[in-house]
Structure 1
């Protein structure tokens, strides 16, 4: 009887051993591929823009156009390469404006930083970059989370910002949830093990059907792997709840022109349009425009955004 029971048990243990070895081998292969790809991709990055020294580190800035007025573009959270991602919008804006794209620390070709990613620090660093470039007067245009940073920015530097444009920008009243430190540790493990790279590889390509040339698409993919879940961006994610909380009592200056270009049908909340309308209820020149599209409206609606923006600016002059 014991012999009969022992044989199935041995077979089961062998099967478990085979599975464990297979999983371990799979993880080793994923890790090695990740390391090799990282080294290979580093050599394929095309340098764009120009570095400016901020807080002793290099912050990358991309400039296109020679218009009399300047537009400063700020990215949404986790954008791999803002200067490349904003390309459809930059190309539509640059015949009329000088367009300056700021790549915050941890984004695009900018350095990482160990400094806390509080709104105060992020805003101060953006301002320092513009000071280094001797840009003293500009329109601030921000996507997603930069709506939150922009709200703080226009209150800190009211004499420099001539207008604010929100591109499906965040509002303090629709806050992000607090991220537990255990989640951050798990994300770090996924990044370092190469599993995050594998996840991206198996997912749909977000740029496949978008108006970017093949070279730009390749660079966007490379920089996504480079910057995804890096320490600066993870710290920004950890700080997000507190940053939203700190912005709840802020409002746009009454006389500052503010226009929001936002998606008409938010996939998660029905408060998206009403909360943006509340943000400009006391503004002399406040306006909300909705589009059928997703969170990255500037990728597919760039021409319409620029046409409506220029008409808006002409109207308030």
Structure 2
């Protein structure tokens, strides 16, 4: 009797276990189906939105032939002296992003904003995003515009490209102005790991659009009108993690290493505008002071603000650049 009871109990337990497993598998199946449906909706919405936005992005500037492709540039102002602006890494629409600075510069200078390949309205490229290629392309664009004497002003990673540029084309560059510009040794000679595969998945799946939508508005407090902000949003979604900028990301470590032993020419006027309180990189100000220490005309000016100092401190930047260049001219 006891044996028979045990057998009955085993069967009941087995039946309960089977039912529990079936319910569990059904729940897992529903979850997988829900995730698949969610991703399909995200992908579809992103595809439809991207197509729609293509027709809403307003052209600006002019296209210049460079290496068989088109590079977008804007030119504003009627001054005799020329200032060439180079963006930081990943700036979606450089000509729009630099708008506050361009407005302050244009009464005194002819201002040229370069949108490298993969940025703004410029074409993408399959060429490696090495410093050498990027610098050559920028120079080719300026040569096409017949500009051969100018102040080079660059934000962030343009400090790395600018180092190569001013040495290669020393007879063309009157001065270099860095806006919280990168320094070759800022990573302490260590490689930085970038989640390239992850951002590729985010881009292709449409999740990058969703994350941007759910996150805080990066343009809310910026000094741009609503129309400009909307154009910047659409261009950010268009250019975010495109093949050209991803390739540039892959080359960041090698580009920084290549620049490690490169210095600015001693006779080149050099002025840096640096965040007064940068929590991201150790010794941010001393690193820039080291760059100017041997310069005949070198200066570091600290400003309160974020990494994009030209969004909020353009007036001070332009005032100090004009004063700096004036002092050098009078000293000749």
Superposition TM-score tier, normalisation by shorter sequence? over 0.9
Q: 2:249 aligns with which of 225, 230, 237?
A: 237
* 1:165-211, Cα deviation, whole Å (9 max, x unpaired): 0000000011373446xx32222111011011111111111111111
- Once the two structures are superposed, what CA deviation does each residue of 1:190-246 show, in whole Å capped at 9, x if it has no partner? 101101111111111111111100110000000000000000000000001000000
Paired with 2:108 and 2:219, the residues of 1 have a C-alpha distance of: 26
Q: Which digits, 9 at most, give the CA deviation of each residue in 1:140-184, with x for residues without a partner?
A: 00000001000100000000000000000000011373446xx32
Q: Of the candidates 247, 265, 286, which is equivalent to residue 253 of structure 1?
A: 265
2:128 matched to which residue of 1? 116
| 2:47 partner SS | helix
Mapped partners of 2:17, 2:264: distance in 1: 75
1:292: how far off?
1.1
How far apart, CA to CA, are the structure 2 residues paired with 1:259 and 1:96? 18
Paired with 2:69 and 2:193, the residues of 1 have a C-alpha distance of 28
Q: Report the more deviating stretch, 197-206 or 134-143.
A: 197-206
Given the alignment of the two structures, is residue 177 of structure 1 paired with residue 191 of structure 2, yes or no? yes
For structure 1, the 5+ residue unaligned runs are: none
After TM superposition, the structure 1 stretch with the greater mean CA deviation from structure 2, 163-172 or 264-273, is: 264-273
| TM-score (normalised: structure 2) | 0.93
Q: How far off is 1:270 after superposition?
A: 2.8
Offset of residue 314 of structure 1: 1.1
Question: 2:34 and 2:280 mapped to 1: Cα distance?
Answer: 40
Q: Does 1:100 align with 2:108?
A: no
1:240-277: per-residue Cα shift (whole Å, max 9, x none)? 10000000111111111000001011122231000000
- Structure 1 equivalent of residue 79 of structure 2: 67
Question: SS of 1:260's equivalent?
Answer: strand
Which residue of structure 2 aligns with residue 224 of structure 1? Answer: 236
2:212 aligned residue (185, 191, 200): 200
Could you tell me how far apart the structure 1 residues matched to 2:55 and 2:193 are? 34
- Contact 1:103–1:110 under 8 Å retained in 2: yes
Give runs of aligned pairs for residues 1-317 of structure 1, distance below 5 A.
1-175=13-187, 177-179=191-193, 183-317=195-329
Q: Check the 8 A contact 1:139/1:161 in 2, yes or no.
A: yes
- Which runs of 5 or more residues in structure 2 are unaligned? 1-12
Matched position secondary structure for 1:106? coil
TM-score by length of 1: 0.98
SS in structure 2 of the partner of residue 242 of structure 1: helix
CA distance in 2, matches of 1:270, 1:112: 34
Deviation at 1:101, TM superposition (A): 0.2
2: distance between equivalents of 1:205 and 1:136? 40
Q: Let me know the Cα RMSD of the aligned residues.
A: 1.0
Q: Tell which structure's C-alpha radius of gyration is larger.
A: 2
Q: Is the 8 A contact 1:179 1:237 kept in 2?
A: no
Report the Cα distance in structure 1 between the residues aligned to 2:65 and 2:210, rounded to whole angstroms.
35
1:224 & 1:190 partners in 2: Cα distance? 14
